[in-house]
């Protein structure tokens, strides 16, 4: 991949992440989203119409694996992991998971930690969301 095409891909993924509500946080905020420095993938958590979503987007050019593991750790330090599928949508692969449908909500109020991994590869640092 040329430097120019990598820059275009990075800009496209950043734009897609912003459109999906995965805005990059300020330095003082807890990290709610993350995009890799190369723009290969963006991930984050956001609310839409009162529902919490956890999303991963990655470039179609990299032909990612079809499945990945998503783990959520609750404020009591209990972790639940589930396997999900990436689906091609336009020029990117996307996985959008509704938190309440796939993860127990009995962890109570507080900070939840979310991480993505695939066969030993971790998609960047974990992101967090707060349940009030």
> How far is residue 94's CA from residue 25's CA, in Å, rounded to a whole number?
21
Comparing CA positions, the residue from 35, 74, 73 lying closest to residue 57 is 35
Q: What is the pTM of this model?
A: 0.74
Q: What pLDDT band is residue 101 in, cutting at 50, 70 and 90?
A: very high
Cα torsion 110, 116, 119, 121: sign: negative
User: Looking at residues 84-95, what average pLDDT do you find?
Assistant: 90
CA distances from 1 to 9, 40, 57, 88 (A): 10, 12, 19, 20
- Asked whether residue 3 carries a pLDDT value surpassing 70, the answer given is no
- Asked whether residue 72 carries a pLDDT value surpassing 50, the answer given is yes
Sequence-ordered alpha helix ranges (H) in the chain: 3-19, 99-102
User: Whole-number mean pLDDT of the chain?
Assistant: 78
Sequence-ordered alpha helix ranges (H) in 31-132: 99-102
Task: Tell me which fold the domain 3-131 belongs to.
Answer: Immunoglobulin-like (2.60.40)
CA distances from 58 to 42, 70, 107, 129 (A): 6, 15, 29, 21
Joined together, the tokens standing for residue 90 give 């336009």
> How far is residue 115's CA from residue 43's CA, in Å, rounded to a whole number?
9
Greater confidence (9 vs 100) lies with: 100
In percent, the amount of the chain with pLDDT more than 70 equals 72
Tokens 């723009």 found at: 39
- Asked whether residue 71 carries a pLDDT value surpassing 90, the answer given is yes
């Amino acid at each position: 991949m040329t430097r120019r095409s990598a820059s275009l891909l990075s800009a496209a993924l950043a734009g897609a992440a912003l459109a999906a509500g995965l805005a990059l946080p300020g330095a003082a905020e807890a990290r709610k989203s993350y995009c890799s420095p190369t723009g290969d993938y963006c991930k984050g958590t956001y609310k839409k119409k009162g529902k919490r979503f956890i999303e991963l987007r990655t470039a179609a050019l990299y032909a990612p694996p079809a499945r990945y593991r998503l783990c959520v750790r609750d404020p009591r330090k209990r972790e639940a992991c589930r396997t999900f599928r990436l689906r091609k949508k336009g020029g990117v692969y996307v996985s959008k998971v509704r938190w309440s449908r796939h993860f127990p909500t009995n962890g109570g109020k507080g900070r939840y930690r979310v991480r993505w991994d695939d066969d030993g590869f971790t998609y960047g640092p974990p992101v967090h969301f707060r349940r009030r």
